[in-house]
Amino acid sequence: MGSLMPNVVVVVAAVAAAVLAVHVAGVSCWAPPGPNITTDYNGRWLPARATWYGQPTGAGPDDNGGACGIKDVNLPPYAAMTSCGNLPLFKDGKGCGSCYEIKCKVPECSIQPVRVFITDMNYGPVAPYYFDLSGTAFGSMAKPGLNDQLRRRGIIDLDFRRVPCKYVAGQRIVFHVEEGSNPFYLAVLVKFVAVDGSIVQMDLKDQASPEWQPMRHSWGAVWRSDTPRPLKGPFSIRLTSESGKTLVATDVIPEKWQPNTVYNSNIQF
């Protein structure tokens, strides 16, 4: 949990940046959030508004992270094509990793949609659906050579739709045991989830128990187990995606596990 405070700072900064952009644009923009975006993938485009934050060609937060807890979002497979989402997109963390196609409507914009990952949050009251994009993602919607000109607009209208997340062949789901984890407190971040992109439930089975125990959603893409008895590895993890599909990563975290360590699975939706 030691990385939570930097993320909070990033979120506050993102909110401030969005509010500033709105005032600069002279827009009166209070609107309650829309309903949560589901996984029906019906192809229907919906209206939204967008701003951007961070460096013009960056991944958003200065530490290349965000409120999902996922690090190095400047690198593949995210490749800086990332965004904050408001409540119906970020879903208090249960929207982390979900994917959207976006296309903007001003003259500088290309007609080609681009795909972004939700890796951060901004609940600023800009629009019912609100993307606070990385500078890279915002500029990528532009016609060739007009990236900087588009970014100078600050706030724009766009259309978006939810799409399945796709990764390169062979990419499997990855688990990161968070700093501070111990036999009585196990916190695990999950990333690189294909299709829905987001996880709505994680369950844990350790060596000492034949039963699945539900983990609690902690924050972002992190789930945790708090227990009065010491947990003993290896640990199996059961994932439930937003559309209700389940997968089991058997003994994915070994007996002699360590905090702040990545464990690769052999599963993928």
Name the residue range of residue 192's domain.
174-264
151 and 19 within one domain: yes
Residue 29 lies in a domain: yes
Residue 130 lies in a domain: yes
Residue spans of alpha helices (H) in the chain? 4-25, 87-90, 135-139, 147-151
Q: Sheet of 185-191: strands edge to edge? A: 216-219, 222-226, 185-191, 174-177, 261-264
126 and 63 within one domain: yes
232 and 102 within one domain: no
98 and 14 within one domain: yes
Q: What CATH number does residue 14 fall under?
A: 2.40.40.10
143 and 47 within one domain: yes
Q: For residue 150, what is the DSSP state?
A: H
Of 104, 130, 163, which residue sits at a domain end? 163
C-alpha count within 13 angstroms, C-beta hemisphere, residue 45: 12
153 and 76 within one domain: yes
C-alpha count within 13 angstroms, C-beta hemisphere, residue 251: 6
Q: What CATH number does residue 244 fall under?
A: 2.60.40.760
CA–CA separation, 47 vs 161, rounded Å?
A: 9
Of 133, 163, 193, which residue sits at a domain end? 163
What is the total count of domains within the chain? 2
Residue 133 lies in a domain: yes
46 and 100 within one domain: yes
CA–CA separation, 48 vs 23, rounded Å?
A: 18
Can you give the pLDDT of all 269 residues of the chain as single tens digits?
333 333 333 333 443 444 444 433 334 445 789 999 999 998 899 999 999 999 999 999 999 999 999 999 999 999 999 999 999 999 999 999 999 999 998 999 998 999 999 999 999 999 999 999 999 999 999 999 999 999 999 999 999 999 999 999 999 999 999 999 999 999 999 999 999 999 999 999 998 888 999 999 999 999 999 999 899 999 999 999 999 999 999 999 999 999 999 999 999 99
9 and 122 within one domain: yes
